[in-house]
Structure 1
Amino acid sequence: MEFTTKEDIEAPVDRVFAALSDFDAIERSVLRRGVDVRRIDQLQGPCEGMHWKAAFRFRGKMRDADVTLTRYDPPNSMEFNTLSGGLETRTVVDCVALSRSRTRVSLVATLQPKTLSARLLVQSLKLAKGNLNKKFRVRAADYAKDLEDRLKHG
């Protein structure tokens, strides 16, 4: 199962990518939303191999997730692999300069069930795919708008 979206941001590609890979700020933002996240690697700065553990509530149950930055190619792309239960998710973030002051950010999240319970979860998600796609796109658009505002005023 795959979710995709594209957003254009009125800012140079290097600044957009730097904001998207400001993992300390992202960790703080996620913590404010009630997700317990902690970095477990000892690597310096953004780079491949960064690893986080997260705990969050989903559908009334506490879930754990391991997130690894598997590709880091500034200012072009990043790729994350996430394992939560028997569900593997591959998330690719691509940045393309449309002009010196405009950047297109593409986001692709691919869910791959590895266990029976994960297959059942993905099946139930497929039934609501239209609604989930809409939520995914709205959240990405909101994040892109916030990012654009921060880059303009900061």
Structure 2
Amino acid sequence: MEFLSKEDIEAPIAGVFGAISDFELLERSALRRGIELQRIGDPASPEKGLAWDLAFSFRGKQRDIRLALASYTPVTGMILTGGGSGIDGRMEVELLALSPQRTRMSVQLTLSPTTLTGRLLVQSLKLARSNLTRRFKLRLAEYAKITEERLNRTA
């Protein structure tokens, strides 16, 4: 199952990359949403194997996932991979400078089952595909807007 969305942000590419790679801010945001997390590695040097153990409730069940930074390319993007609870996932975030003050952020999320339980979960997600795709795009647009406002405030 795959989700894809693109958003344009009125900010320089370096600033946008700094915002999406502010792992401590993202961790605080996850904690506010009720996700338990334990970081493995140093966020000051993310290219050396930064990872997180996440625990949260989804569809009435406790889910445990290991999320790892698979690729970290300063200014252009990163790839996160994760697995657990019968599902493997991969999220690619790519940044493209459209102009000195405009950046396009593309996010692709791919989920694939690894067990029968995971297959049932992915199948139920496929049944709600249009709603989930809409929510994914809205969430990314909201994140892009917040990032743009934060970067323009500090500029």
TM-score range, shorter chain: over 0.9
Work out whether residues 24 and 43 of structure 2, in 8 Å CA contact, stay in contact via their aligned partners in 1: no
Displacement of 1:38 after TM fit?
1.5
What code does the residue aligned with 1:45 have?
S
SS of aligned partner of 2:11: coil
Q: Which runs of 5+ in 2 are unaligned?
A: none
8 Å contact from structure 1 (residues 3, 108) kept in 2: yes
Counterpart residue number, 1:14: 14
Residue aligned with 2:47, SS:
coil
- Structure 1 segments unaligned to the other structure (5+ residues): none
Q: What TM-score does the superposition give when structure 1 sets the normalisation length?
A: 0.96
Partner of 2:146: 146
Identify the residue that residue 110 of structure 2 maps to in structure 1.
110
Residues 92 and 108 in structure 1, CA contact (< 8 A), matched pair in contact too? yes
Dislocated runs of 4+, deviation >4 Å: none
Deviation at 1:86, TM superposition (A): 1.4
Give the percent of matched residue pairs that are identical in Structure 1 and Structure 2.
Answer: 49
Q: Is the 8 A contact 1:2 1:109 kept in 2?
A: yes
Q: Is the 8 A contact 1:48 1:71 kept in 2?
A: no
Work out the CA distance in 2 between the residues paired with 1:42 and 1:101.
Answer: 30
The CA deviation at 1:41 is: 2.4
Partners of 1:68 and 1:21 in 2: how far apart? Answer: 13
1:61 partner amino acid: K
1:89, 1:109 within 8 Å by CA — same for their partners in 2? Answer: yes
Question: For the aligned residues, what is the CA RMSD?
Answer: 1.1
Structure 2 distance, partners of 1:42, 1:29, is 18
TM-score (norm 2): 0.96
The amino acid of 2:25's aligned partner reads A
For residue 4 of structure 1, what is the aligned residue in structure 2? 4
Match of 2:35 in 1: 35
CA distance in 2, matches of 1:32, 1:45: 25
- Per-residue CA distance 1:90-123 (angstroms, 9 max, x = gap): 0000000000000000000000111111011111
Deviation of 1:48 after TM superposition, in Å, equals 4.7
Whether contact under 8 Å (2:41, 2:48) holds in the other structure is no
